[in-house]
Amino acid sequence: MSYEDGWAAMNLEMGGRIPRTEYSATMHWELIKAVTGIEVGVSSSPDEQSRAALAFMRAWNFDFFWSTLIGDDEFGAWRTDMGHAEYAAGGVDRRDTIFTPYRDASDVLRFDPWEKLGRKDPAELTRRFEKHYRQNAATHPEGVNMSGVYVTMMSAMIGLFGWELLLEAAGLNPREFGALCNRYASWIQQYFDALAAADLPCVMVHDDMVWTSGAIMRPAFYREYIFPNYKKMIAPLLESGKKVMFTSDGNYSKFIDDIAGCGFSGMVMEPMTDLAYAVEKYGQTHVLFGNADTRILLSGTKEEIRAEVERCMNLGKRCRGFFMAVGNHIPPNTPVESALYYNDCYEKLARR
């Protein structure tokens, strides 16, 4: 029933079961072994890991498969490498390389993506998106699939320039930094136009535009340079009849109304963002994803885990379209018993 339940929620149809998705749990090898019985770990081959992850997602009945195609590798030699801390099991994702092609903040403010990154072939972009979607749908035929863009605006600034130069440039001259955002938006628009032409039903638009504590820039900056560009970007997607979801890490409670006003069909949120407000204001008109707190799974008691699931589900059951998820991922250091208990609570509460 995953495909039916997922698409019912995407179409704001209140089914008998609350659908769900999760993030990063497919890299938690001890959890996967406990759920599937498949012996798999860091040293397993990619094929073995993929097989075990698929079995896990079926066992936990995923209804929605979050995915984007366009990341900061699209920037080639103009991408800043900030290194990477350990997150995955065994620390296999740790990277200590640090490099930037920019000398200073002035270099950042002068950056022209049309000059440095170039014009793309629209037909080729559309083919790439369609191929990505078809691969996703073939791998996960039982749920909602998509393609999309990870580096929409602020995530692109992070990927291109790194945090230090980004913040220095934005602080040095906010208006010139805003002009840079506009130049980038005009460049990435070609990807959104190609997505609009692609034969696929759902698009994920990702942009880490805030921190855990809230806005990075002054709210007025977002309303002048970020949200108007979002609206332009997704207009052709909406005109083509696609469902367009928005994701940002951190706390974007202050901007929920702005996101909805851009035209997005749904919002994926971490637990810092106010799910109760989103449900009250948009629970009948938008798809909402959320937003249990992984920190409770990491160190909470069973009573606290159940209370967190109840918080989300009690809110979600009031929505026409809602997906349950641990909003800030289930990383490999999550105690297996806590993750299993979380799933048990979800399954017991999933019926309306």
Confidence (pLDDT) at 175: 97
Confidence (pLDDT) at 93: 58
CATH numbers and ranges of domains, the chain: 68-269 (3.20.20.210)
How much is the pTM?
A: 0.95
Contacts of 266 (CB under 8 A, 6+ apart): 10, 243, 244, 245, 246, 286, 287, 288, 289, 321
Confidence (pLDDT) at 234: 98
CA dihedral sign of residues 85, 88, 92, 93: negative
pLDDT in tens, the chain (352 residues): 578 999 999 999 998 999 999 999 999 999 999 999 999 999 999 999 999 999 999 999 999 999 999 999 999 999 998 665 565 657 665 667 778 999 999 999 999 999 999 999 999 999 999 999 999 999 999 999 999 999 999 999 999 999 999 999 999 999 999 999 999 999 999 999 999 999 999 999 999 999 999 999 999 999 999 999 999 999 999 999 999 999 999 999 999 999 999 999 999 999 999 999 999 999 999 999 989 999 999 999 999 999 999 999 999 999 999 999 999 999 999 999 999 999 999 999 999 8
Confidence (pLDDT) at 98: 74
Q: Where are the beta strands (DSSP E) in 161-233?
A: 202-206, 210-211, 214-215
Contacts of 303 (CB under 8 A, 6+ apart): none
Q: How far apart are alpha carbons 265 and 238 in whole angstroms? A: 9
Find tokens 């997704």 and name the residue.
234
Confidence (pLDDT) at 89: 57
The type of residue at 99 is F
- In sequence order, the β-bridge partners of residue 292 are 326
**Coil/strand/helix, residue 185:** helix
Q: Are 315 and 279 in contact (CB under 8 A)?
A: yes
Find tokens 């930094």 and name the residue.
177
Q: How far apart are alpha carbons 332 and 21 in whole angstroms? A: 17
Q: Are 234 and 193 in contact (CB under 8 A)?
A: no
Q: How far apart are alpha carbons 44 and 107 in whole angstroms? A: 44
